[in-house]
Amino acid sequence: DDFEGRGVWRYSAALPFEMGVSLPEGDTPLHHVPRLEEEIGIERLRVKHEGMNPTGSFKDRGMTVGVRVAEELGVDRLACASTGNTSAALAAYGARGGMPTLVLLPAGKVAAGKIAQAALHDARILEVDGNFDDCLDIVQDLAARGEVYLLNSLNPFRLEGQKTIGLEILEEFHADHGTYPDRIVLPVGNAGNTSALYKCFRELVQSGALDADDVPKLTGVQAEGAAPMVEAIEEGNDEVRRWPDVETIATAIRIGNPVNAPKALPGIRQTGGTAVSVTDEAITDAQRSLASEGVGVEPASATSIAGLRKLREQGVVDDDEQVVCLTTGHLLKDPDAAFAAGNKPESVPNDTEAILDHIAE
């Protein structure tokens, strides 16, 4: 295969196969953002931009493994519930693997770019009159009845692929700076990525490749209107209470029942990390800050920067820390949010002199 040994598959020793259904995925940039680093006031800040994957989110790392498993099993139909990105990735990887896909979306709550992807990659799109958590309940019922093969992050093979985010961060950060990051800050929805990173670190420590002291503190960020994980961390609960009503501009993480919480909560606690919630306004500010350094992300992704800002202000993050923030999805995923947060187009006459006058104003 052309893409063998590339991106995610460079780490095949840590994966269940030598090769998957690949577009290819992984090998995303670790950006230097000097102005944000200075403003937030920490020793070192890097941004791992997962929006640079083939369908524009980190979900591709999971799907390349998950869809390969589906191929091995010979299933008839792939399915997921989604706030948008999982459905876009599943549609593309299903198409690549030649398997039909079914996606369940919360009606009216999925960003335009994501639905466009699912549509063109030929997924059958069901818009459910309910939220994401309802969609996930239903698709689990369908899977239990043998109707579909489930490719949400409840599927453990997806998380195997997503471990490679951690492998890439540690490898590249160490190559550049001779140390490992003290902390990794990431958006949390279903907490699949948090679980995957924790598994990555545990395996590295168990194999002797990483010192237990060098494991980065896993730090999760949620939107204030959808923050059940933050509630559990703040209250010291072992179980996460399901929030029936959730709302946030960061529709990707508009989730009230993080199904991977049993795996993610220990990850946050054992690594000495924490969880924090941020307002929609802080999310938009962070999205603009990243954009002003050339890094275009969707709102959910900007929560990592918004969360780091808040934790720094609270003194939870020290000024001598080296931090990697994960940005999970591309700006173009949510064009409406970008229009709302950014400059408005100005209409001008079809005339050079008039345009000169206009821009001189």
Binding residues vs ligand F0G (CB under 6 A): 57, 82-86, 153, 187-194, 252-253, 298, 300-301, 328-329
Pick the closest to residue 126 from 137, 135, 117, 116 (CA basis): 135
**Inter-residue contact 269 to 247 (CB < 8 Å):** no
Q: Which CB, 239 or 352, lies closer to ligand F0G? A: 239
* 325: its two tokens: 């923030």
Number of H helices, E strands in the chain: 13, 10
Backbone angles phi, psi at 246, to 5 degrees: -130, 150
**Inter-residue contact 21 to 71 (CB < 8 Å):** yes
Q: Which CB, 6 or 269, lies closer to ligand F0G? A: 269
Partners of residue 297 on adjacent β-strands: 330
In angstroms, what is the minimal distance from the CB of 230 to ligand F0G? 12
In angstroms, what is the minimal distance from the CB of 240 to ligand F0G? 12
34-334-165 Cα angle (round to 5): 55
Q: Which CB, 191 or 249, lies closer to ligand F0G? A: 191
Q: Which CB, 151 or 204, lies closer to ligand F0G? A: 151
In angstroms, what is the minimal distance from the CB of 151 to ligand F0G? 10
Q: Which CB, 193 or 274, lies closer to ligand F0G? A: 193
Q: Which CB, 82 or 287, lies closer to ligand F0G? A: 82
d(CA 273, CA 281): 24
Report the half-sphere exposure of 178 (CA within 13 A, side-chain side): 0
**Continuous segment of H or E residues that includes residue 140:** helix 132-144
Q: Which CB, 94 or 329, lies closer to ligand F0G? A: 329
Starting at the edge strand found earlier in the chain, the sheet holding 217-223 runs 30-32, 44-49, 322-327, 183-187, 217-223, 275-278
Burial degree of 313 (CB within 10 A; 0-12, 13-18, 19+)? exposed
In angstroms, what is the minimal distance from the CB of 150 to ligand F0G? 13
**Inter-residue contact 224 to 258 (CB < 8 Å):** no
Q: Which CB, 41 or 335, lies closer to ligand F0G? A: 335
Q: How far apart are the first and last CA of the chain?
A: 57
